[in-house]
Amino acid sequence: MATEHLSPLDLAFWRIESAAHPMHLGALAVFEAAPAQQDAPGAGPGPGAGPEPAVRAAALLAARCATVPGLRRRIHDVLLPIGAAAWSSDADFDAARHVFLVRTPDPRAAAGPLMARPLDRGRPPWEAHVLAGPDPGSFAVLFKFHHALADGLGALALAALLFDEGEGVRGPARPVPEPRPAAGSALRSLPGMLAARVQDVGQALEIGASVARAGLPLGVPAALTAAPARTGTRAVAGLALDLDDVNRIRKVAGGTVNDVLIALVAGALRRWLLGRGDPEPEGPGPRALIPVSRRRPGGAAKYGNRLSGYLLRLPLAEPDPLLRLDRVRLGMDRNKEAGPARGAGAVALLADHVHPLGHRLGGPLVAQAARMLFDILVTSVPLPGFTFSLGGSRVREVYPLAPLARGHSLAVAVSTYKGTVHYGLVADAAAVPDLAALAEALRAELDELVREVS
């Protein structure tokens, strides 16, 4: 069987990880048990009694994860190419090492310390924590997937196979090896190969020039930076907003739903900073990295990452909420006109131009340079329209959670599920001790925009 090496971008995510800056993404799914299940929380002798929903969910996840090939694979170093890594099946795979039942008085609060804990790099890089709270009728599940295993869409495809709605759904396809070229074909294709190489070099140079033009951090509040000595702890917060309100704003003010969601982040950051007593924001504002999927619509799902991105200045200095939205819309329009393959946000594509040894030796340096490339991550993860469930318990809320780069204090992820917008906030707990206040600032910003367009 041919060795399946990690792609350059997947390898980059694997190499830049450190104990204080784990490179896994996650999702916190909040479940609500069916009424019939809430009447039988224990394993009593009465008819219909059985395990409580959280216990049943943990058992189902442990059984189903063994049927998903992508969840049985681990990453290991290889001799050649030097510095590379590859996937292999874990011969000692045991679901008990990946699926955990955690009893906690506050499932949401428990997600922060769990997100701070790195995955075991000697095992398949994922975990599922079933968080059972004091209410036996509801629970939460925190999924953690290393970024080398999947991007947001890939992680969603893997997780969906574990839900009731995912049964029988075809999983992500393994990459198909490229056919071996016929004798002499390499010589005939040499001009095309050289042209493609020249084009790749030109793209890399253009991305580098765009990064330089994007400038150094200017107008970045101190609250959005984390000193290295203060890293290693995580806080998590979630907020659910009505998608109808977002659409009402979009229809009146223009732009896309994503424009409104990004503008809400900008306005919430401004409110939060002023509420803390920080100085009035000045300058062009922090640079938000907006990941863009490079997966083809309708194409076969694959493991790993297919990402580029846009870079957008968040106009925190603008006090008018509608003008903030307009500036976000114009900035995103300019990004879309330029495309996701050549701007300053396309730094992920530079990984393709680095030798595996460069990733191995330069990973720590790249991690430290993240602060120079962008100031905050704002990512969107689309969810399917149907309702997820697990063992009869329905998913009520889904909060996506993004990794936190070195030197950053905040990462924002957003998804829509069943007519509701879910913001997932991950922060350096020492740098942002008041993360709940930022979540409430998001709600206040939405309310103000609704009033402005009403």
- DSSP assignment, residue 68? -
Region 221-226 average pLDDT:
80
Query: For residue range 135-154, what is the model confidence (pLDDT) as tens digits?
Result: 877 899 999 999 999 888 78
Region 20-36 average pLDDT:
85
Q: How far apart are CA 172 and CA 69, in angstroms?
A: 9
Q: How far apart are CA 18 and CA 22, in angstroms?
A: 6
Nearest alpha-carbon partner for 438 in 449, 424, 450 = 424
Distances (CA, A) of 258 to 76, 116, 224, 275: 38, 28, 22, 26
Query: For residue range 64-86, what is the model confidence (pLDDT) as tens digits?
Result: 998 898 899 999 999 989 999 99
Helix (H, G, I), strand (E, B) or coil at 255: coil
| pLDDT score of 328 more than 70 | yes
Region 14-42 average pLDDT:
78
Conformation bin of residue 159: beta by default, left when phi > 0, alpha when psi is -120 to 50: alpha
Distances (CA, A) of 41 to 38, 47, 192, 328: 6, 12, 66, 48
Say if residues 442 and 241 touch (Cβ distance below 8 Å): yes
Q: Which of 33-37, 94-98, 112-116 has the lowest mean pLDDT?
A: 33-37
β-sheet with 376-380: strand ranges across? 234-242, 420-428, 410-417, 376-380, 287-293, 307-313
Q: Which two tokens stand for residue 116?
A: 């701070």
Region 329-355 average pLDDT:
75
Q: Which residue has the tokens 């198909």?
A: 176
| pLDDT score of 307 more than 50 | yes
Q: Which of 52-56, 206-210, 411-415 has the lowest mean pLDDT?
A: 206-210
Q: How far apart are CA 157 and CA 141, in angstroms?
A: 16
Strand 73-77 with 85-89, pairing? antiparallel
Helix (H, G, I), strand (E, B) or coil at 422: strand
Helix (H, G, I), strand (E, B) or coil at 348: helix
Say if residues 221 and 386 touch (Cβ distance below 8 Å): no
| pLDDT score of 203 more than 60 | no
| pLDDT score of 88 more than 70 | yes
Q: How far apart are CA 59 and CA 69, in angstroms?
A: 18
Q: How far apart are CA 404 and CA 29, in angstroms?
A: 20
Region 128-139 average pLDDT:
89
Say if residues 214 and 334 touch (Cβ distance below 8 Å): no
More confident residue, 260 or 162: 260
The reported pLDDT for the residue numbered 217 is: 56
The reported pLDDT for the residue numbered 346 is: 57
Q: What's the pTM?
A: 0.85
**H-helix segments, 39-106:** 53-65
310 Cβ partners below 8 Å, 6+ apart? 289, 290, 292, 332, 335, 336, 340, 343, 345
Most confident of 64-68, 182-186, 263-267: 263-267
In whole numbers, what is the pLDDT of the chain averaged over residues? 81
Q: How confident is the model at residue 108 (pLDDT cuts 50, 70, 90)?
A: confident
196 Cβ partners below 8 Å, 6+ apart? none
Q: Which residue has the tokens 């060795």?
A: 3
Q: How far apart are CA 201 and CA 215, in angstroms?
A: 22
| pLDDT score of 191 more than 80 | no
Q: Which backbone phi and psi does 431 adopt, to 5 degrees?
A: -75, -30
- Residues belonging to the chain: 454
